[in-house]
Structure 1
Amino acid sequence: MSAADFLFAPEVQKLLMVAYAAPGQPFSSSELAKRSKLDPDDAGRTLEHLVGSGILKRNKPKAGEAETISVDRTFIFHDELRNIALKSFAAAEPVRAMLRSRFKDSVMRAFILQEDKDGTLELLVVHGQLMPDESAMKAACQKLSKNIHRHLKMHVISSAKFNSLTPRDSLASKLAAPGALEIIALGDTKAQPPVEKVGLLQSAKKKLATLARPSA
């Protein structure tokens, strides 16, 4: 098995999804198997590979306590690997799938703004003509949060507000940060842009232009 095949094996992804969601938290082998919904034997074999590769580490147990495993932040490719996980199986893919399946008629664009040190994801959703149902969005986020073992902080704004963001807005500065990631782009869903309202001045000019036309 190549390094790439090993990294993206389903068992590896499931275990790293749990571990990277709480990088400072130690887990027992049984807890990791349970949270990742893996067979204990499959989890045990995969953990051996991850520890042997330096991605995870074993922590010396205290008296009377079981051995625990946690993310090894000294691993030379720790930051790169965590970014790959964030941009794929550990966050971007499940969030994208949820929004495109449940809110394809309302969500026009979506971004992962940042991930804090505790693994909380801050998301920005831009809606079009239709606004996502608030209770449905909350329920979907709670279910997803449980599945990917991460807290989600969601901002939902209209496309008009998104287009009017200035560099002084906190959302704009987060969008401009190197770690921000667009997970749904324009055209990825069936969401329609809002109908533009014709201003009073434009409406008056249109009416005058119509009246000024010579009659047949």
Structure 2
Amino acid sequence: MSAADFLFSPEVQKLLTVLYAAPADQWFPTAELARRTRLAEPEAAATVEHLVGSGIVKRQAAKGEEQPEAIRIDRSFVFHDQLRSIALRSFVAAEPIRSMLRSKFKDSVVRALVLGEDAQGTIELLIAHGQLVPDEAAMAAACQKLSKSMGRHLNVHVVPLARLNGMPARDPLAAKLSAPTVHEIIALGDTKAALPAERGGLLQAARKKLATLGRP
């Protein structure tokens, strides 16, 4: 197995999703990781050994029967920041958010961008809609459910596509859009959402309608 295959194997992704969602100082016994990831305990234990051996996580020795051996993310790992960023851009956050938007809001969401993550683990998300505006209550419920399953809070902005495309420098979101942490998870054409009609198109249609009405 290559290093890339190991890092992005389903078992590793499942464990890292739990570990990165938790506070940095939280320890997890292997049995607890197996329960949360729905992996068989021997499978979880083998994956933990690989993670420990790679330096990605650190191990705490057992302290009697009441405190079994446990692991947590090792922030001193030389590639910790890069690996965490990759995880955030893929299986930890981007993929679950993308899947939710494509399945529940495919008729309204035109673009979606993850703006970044703060020190508390809150993920900021910018959603641009087309002709249809996502139902506010449905979006709030879906994001709350996703937040619970991911173990991270979501700070969501829903704006018209025109605002995203023509955002002035004074817009509060403008500076965040220029940050290096931004990555797009839904691009134009990824969903069935209809784009908003252009002003010129609306005016032309209105003129044609008036011309038709004015005919004898």
The two structures have a TM-score, normalised by structure 1, of 0.85
Aligned-partner Cα distance in 2 for 1:21–1:59: 19
1:65, distance to aligned residue in structure 2 (A): 3.3
1:77, distance to aligned residue in structure 2 (A): 1.0
- The residue identity in structure 1 corresponding to 2:169 is P
Aligned to 1:22: 22
**CA separation of 1:167 and 1:60: change in aligned 2, threshold 3 A:** farther
Matched residues, number:
205
The two structures have a TM-score, normalised by structure 2, of 0.85
Alignment root-mean-square deviation, CA: 2.4
CA shift digits 1:68-120 (9 cap, x unpaired) = 31110111111111111111111111111111111111001000001122322
Aligned-partner Cα distance in 1 for 2:122–2:48: 24
| Conserved? CA contact 1:23–1:71, under 8 Å | no
**CA separation of 1:32 and 1:117: change in aligned 2, threshold 3 A:** farther
Aligned-partner Cα distance in 1 for 2:121–2:98: 18
Pairing of 1:122-201 with structure 2 (within 5 A): 122-197=124-199
1:81 equivalent to 2:83? Answer yes
Aligned-partner Cα distance in 1 for 2:73–2:46: 17
Which one is further off, 18-27 or 96-105? 18-27
Gaps of 5+ in 2: 212-216
CA shift digits 1:30-71 (9 cap, x unpaired) = 222222222222111111110111000013566863333111
Aligned-partner Cα distance in 1 for 2:194–2:128: 11
| Conserved? CA contact 1:23–1:70, under 8 Å | no
Gaps of 5+ in 1: 212-216
Aligned to 1:92: 94
1:145, distance to aligned residue in structure 2 (A): 1.8
CA shift digits 1:103-153 (9 cap, x unpaired) = 111001000001122322110000111011112112221222232222211
Aligned to 1:71: 73
Give the secondary structure class of the aligned counterpart of 1:83.
helix
1:169, distance to aligned residue in structure 2 (A): 2.2
What percent of counterpart residues are identical?
60
| Conserved? CA contact 1:123–1:154, under 8 Å | yes
